[in-house]
Amino acid sequence: MAHAHDHDYPTPEESETRERSAFVDRYPFAARITRLCFGVAFTALGIGALFGVVQALHRTGVFRGLISSGQYYSVLTGHGVLLALFFTIFFLGGIFTWGVARSLGQRLWSPRFSLVWFGFMLVGALMTTVAILGGLVGEIPFEADVLYTFYAPLQAHPIFYIGLALFIVGTWLAGADWFRSYFTWRADNPDARIPLQTFMVLTTMLMWYIATLGVAVETIFFLIPWSLGIIGTVDPLLTRTLFWFFGHPVVYFWLMPAYFVWYTILPKLAGGRLFSDALARVVFVLFLILSTPVGFHHQYMDPGVPEGFKFVAMTNTMFLLLPSFLTAFTVVASIEHGARQRGGEGYLGWLKALPWGRPAFAGCALAGVMFAAGGFSGIINAGMNINYLIHNTLWVPGHFHLTVGTASALTFMAISYWLYPQVTGKRLQFRGIAQLQPYVWFGGMLLMSNAMHRAGLAGVPRRTAEPEYEQVVYDGVVGGVAEMRLQIAIGGTLLFLGALMFLTVMLGTWLAERGRGRLGVSSALPPALSGPEESPRVLDDVRLWVGIAVVLVVIAYGVPIATMVGDGALTPGAPPVPVGALLPL
């Protein structure tokens, strides 16, 4: 791992002293947008986490005093929407704004425009949240118990869908803002390589523009007119297909900001440098190309989708593992490099040299460790035949609490310990709580997600308020369902505690006085061991990659969607299911 030019690059300590002024002083408006986005993200985290523990205790039957089984579905919808959509995507808005300003070394293109996109996202999120809360408060005429996947035939109040549409328009405008900033930079730097963090932001947003086409068509042409009573019925298969066209790539919209952190910041926190700039670019290009033409792997059980196209989706999904395997290699190599710079030795002994007491590092590293397990349960989901065993069981929430609930969420919390001081100019408060918090999250998730996976194998369904599976134990499943439920309840409670600890640290930091002098954290990042000069220029040719991505999407979706339309998906069909009813599992 040693490198000939090791002595040429600044150590993390050196780069910190070289950077005299804090990010907040150099880019005050970008810092403000990041703070605003983080503020909304953390509020969504607080409410979503509360909903999480309430529904976990209810469905496990441990404590059922707070909500009725009817309200369980409103709480579950709120938990999913607030955490998976609003916490994650507002956080993305904040960290990408920081990354674009930092890596381009310039102010935002237009402060007013940044406030416009933030406003769209905020108003949209508020409308959607109000609709969901209506399901909890009887007198309010709103309801949106449609779960965070919100496809037909469950129907929500129109403000739920209109809010989501505004929120997504906000994300599109945010992307336009980052692209504009990039074009301004490009005019002054015609021959330079796109800085790595900006490259990651641009490829992520291009992936997002392609992916959100599905949900935009679903919402604007079907769900909104249907919920307003303008059209009487919608075709469940076509609208579900449009949903999953978006529903898989959205998971990479949650993951790619975590990878952004693992590639560009984590190596520095470990005391070293990114192993390879080129590999990082390859990974983001692969996500751009492959994230969308895989959505049918969520619909293996749906009749009406030709088997051959399910197989195409499965094949593409297996290719889509590649960027994560590359990440496992590159990020671990970078961390190992850092550990060896700190004096670590041996095959595994270097692990001890890592800064496990530094909360930003520990949280990101533990998130990565858990993602290895979550990724492997994803591989099982993706196998067409084995998916039939776990689909719609508690296994699936087990999978996604390791992925979005840890790889993304724990990384976002951990990196906030490092980033929030930079955008506020304040020192991190309650360091002791921050140091403990990633371990509490890790422990809680270990209990909860392991038990969820096992319960899923025992046949316990997901999305049900009734814990009536006491007796179901199959051959090969060790332990009883009651024991698994208890572990889920204990794990869920620890996770709630972890979220509270994080929010305490953030709130304390937000309320603290702005410090004088240097903060002790800087946004400077050391260059990669193998830098952009060794990375092929074609990787920056985003037009080429978008072209390939579009071709793959047409191959995966063209014929199935044309067949659905040909089969009468656009002509009136079955009557809508009344609000509040649940899809039979």
For residue 381, state whether it binds ligand HAS (rule: CB under 6 A): yes
Give how far Cα 123 sits from Cα of 41, 87, 254, Å. 14, 15, 21
Distance CA 394, CA 301 (A): 16
For residue 369, state whether it binds ligand HAS (rule: CB under 6 A): yes
For residue 215, state whether it binds ligand HAS (rule: CB under 6 A): no
Judged by CB under 6 A, the stretch of 192-200, 220-228, 366-374, 486-494 that binds ligand HAS is: 366-374
Judged by CB under 6 A, the stretch of 23-31, 154-162, 375-383, 522-530 that binds ligand HAS is: 375-383
Map residues 102-141 to x or -, x wherever contact with ligand HAS holds by CB under 6 A.
----------------------------------------
For residue 411, state whether it binds ligand HAS (rule: CB under 6 A): no
Specify the residue, 6 or 302, whose C-beta has the smaller distance to ligand HAS: 302
The least CB distance from residue 218 to ligand HAS, in Å, is 15
Which amino acid would we find at residue 534? E
The least CB distance from residue 357 to ligand HAS, in Å, is 14
Judged by CB under 6 A, the stretch of 302-310, 395-403, 434-442, 573-581 that binds ligand HAS is: 395-403
Q: Coil, strand, or helix at residue 279?
A: helix
For residue 386, state whether it binds ligand HAS (rule: CB under 6 A): no
The least CB distance from residue 377 to ligand HAS, in Å, is 8
The least CB distance from residue 203 to ligand HAS, in Å, is 16
244-271 per-residue burial string, b: 16 or more CB within 10 A, e: under 16? bbbbbbbbbbbbbbbbbbbbbbbbbbbb
The least CB distance from residue 31 to ligand HAS, in Å, is 27
Judged by CB under 6 A, the stretch of 90-98, 402-410, 425-433, 546-554 that binds ligand HAS is: 402-410
Peptide bond into 153 cis (omega under 30): yes
Distance CA 15, CA 24 (A): 17
Query: Which residue sits closest to ligand HAS, CB atoms considered?
Result: 375
Map residues 291-320 to x or -, x wherever contact with ligand HAS holds by CB under 6 A.
------xx------------------x--x
Return left, alpha or beta for 273; rule: phi > 0 is left, psi -120 to 50 is alpha, else beta.
beta
Judged by CB under 6 A, the stretch of 156-164, 185-193, 329-337, 564-572 that binds ligand HAS is: 329-337
For 103, phi and psi rounded to 5 degrees? -80, -30
For 146, phi and psi rounded to 5 degrees? -105, 5
Q: Which of 137, 140, 372, 386 binds ligand HAS (CB under 6 A)?
A: 372
Q: Within 13 A of 271's CA, how many CA atoms are on the CB side?
A: 17
Quick one: which of 425, 440, 377, 434 has its CA closest to 403?
Answer: 377
The least CB distance from residue 126 to ligand HAS, in Å, is 23
Specify the residue, 77 or 114, whose C-beta has the smaller distance to ligand HAS: 77
Quick one: which of 17, 99, 104, 119 has its CA closest to 423?
Answer: 99
Specify the residue, 378 or 492, whose C-beta has the smaller distance to ligand HAS: 378
57 exposed, middle or buried (CB, 10 Å; 0-12, 13-18, 19+)? Answer: buried
Torsion of the alpha carbons at 493, 495, 496 and 502, rounded to the nearest 10: 150
For residue 324, state whether it binds ligand HAS (rule: CB under 6 A): yes
For residue 585, state whether it binds ligand HAS (rule: CB under 6 A): no
For residue 330, state whether it binds ligand HAS (rule: CB under 6 A): no
For residue 85, state whether it binds ligand HAS (rule: CB under 6 A): no
Lookup: tokens for 541: 């040719």
The residues, ordered by sequence, that sit 6+ positions from 468 with a Cβ below 8 Å of its Cβ are none
Q: Which of 146, 279, 382, 539 binds ligand HAS (CB under 6 A)?
A: 382
The least CB distance from residue 50 to ligand HAS, in Å, is 20
Give how far Cα 25 sits from Cα of 396, 415, 430, 582, Å. 44, 20, 24, 51
Which amino acid would we find at residue 37? C
Say which residue the tokens 């209506």 belong to: 134
For residue 391, state whether it binds ligand HAS (rule: CB under 6 A): yes
Q: Which of 144, 156, 404, 419 binds ligand HAS (CB under 6 A)?
A: 404
Distance CA 192, CA 284 (A): 19
For residue 360, state whether it binds ligand HAS (rule: CB under 6 A): no
Catalytic residues: 248, 252, 399-401, 462-463
The residues, ordered by sequence, that sit 6+ positions from 31 with a Cβ below 8 Å of its Cβ are 23, 24, 98, 422, 423, 424
Say which residue the tokens 């336009």 belong to: 176
Specify the residue, 394 or 519, whose C-beta has the smaller distance to ligand HAS: 394
Specify the residue, 58 or 79, whose C-beta has the smaller distance to ligand HAS: 79
For residue 371, state whether it binds ligand HAS (rule: CB under 6 A): yes
Give how far Cα 307 sits from Cα of 300, 314, 316, Å. 8, 10, 14
Please give the residues from 237 up to 256 whose contact with ligand HAS meets the rule CB under 6 A: 251, 254-255
138 exposed, middle or buried (CB, 10 Å; 0-12, 13-18, 19+)? Answer: exposed
Distance CA 106, CA 162 (A): 35
Q: Total binding residues for ligand HAS by CB under 6 A?
A: 36
Q: Across the chain, how many H-helices and E-strands are there?
A: 21, 0
Q: Which of 114, 241, 406, 408 binds ligand HAS (CB under 6 A)?
A: 408
Contacting residues toward ligand HAS, per CB under 6 A: 149, 251, 254-255, 262, 297-298, 317, 320-321, 324-325, 327-328, 331-332, 335, 365, 368-369, 371-372, 375, 378-379, 381-382, 387, 391, 396, 399-400, 403-404, 407-408
